[in-house]
Structure 1
Amino acid sequence: MSDTDGGTDDELEEIRERKRRKLREKLEDGTPGESASGGASSVESVGTDHTESSAPPDEPIELETPDRFDVVVSKYDTVLVDFHAEWCGPCKMMEPAVKSVARETDAAVLKVDIDRHQGLASKFGVRSVPTLVLFRGGEPAQRVMGAQSEAALKRLVSG
């Protein structure tokens, strides 16, 4: 990791707070998908095929860029973030359960590759994979480490 990770984390937190405020304003105004300037909001540019009503997608969302993290966790009421790695055997074993949570629950699932997004892994204290962090209302609510069963993941997001 670079020497700028501390500054990047501060910037990410600032961006997250701005996006939360914008999202709250949009929800209060009843105009999802538009920014105060009338243009398309960054919330709508997550890059997935879901509706303006913010219904969670039926498939896990692969995080492409770190700035999308806050967009996704702010957009949906409940988000299960799967910090994983391509080389991780337990992560691969959990893949069907993670897909099932996305398909069969009201939670969005965000997959974060810790090798590509080391700053986010560090920010959330990920020391082993898989680590799953449940976000409710844009804030971390629960955290579990290690391989989990499909039933355990569904209990986590429904609880």
Structure 2
Amino acid sequence: MTLFIFNLCLAFLFAASAFAKPEVYIQNGNFEEKPDPRFLKKTRIIGKYSLPKWEINGFVEYINGGPQPGGMYFPVTHGEHAVRLGNEASISQTIKVIPGHWYALILGASRTCAQDEVLRISVPPHKGDVPLQTLYSLNGDVIAWGFKAASNFT
């Protein structure tokens, strides 16, 4: 059962250091680079590497924002596309970072049901759960997650 919409529109990493490039953007962070239609079964993405620049696990859908059949509305605040994660589903991307530097991951998320849900953010070796609230607006939640890079890749 799909319980919330996950939207990484405008997601990026920010290196807080005078010696590093100031920004390292997540590739295809706003999901505007679409999956090949061969790897879509209606809205479900089929194949671990079928979402460009991402690795997916579990039930992941590629959706268009806005009104949906049946009267639902999927809010996508930055861009036109998002991914919708089913129970225990995940998307991930490996980013090259500089050890010892501080970064912030900024993302947008929303959900469309009244059940309590959390979004697990993992930057190895750290992880945390962010509670998501049901929102009836076009803005969704903006979430920031700070971390200090422990190795070259995160």
Q: Is the structural similarity TM-score above 0.5? A: no
TM-score, scaled to structure 1: 0.28
Q: Which has the higher strand share?
A: 2
TM-score, scaled to structure 2: 0.29
Q: Which has the higher contact order (CA 8 A, sep 6+)?
A: 2
Q: Which has the higher helix share?
A: 1
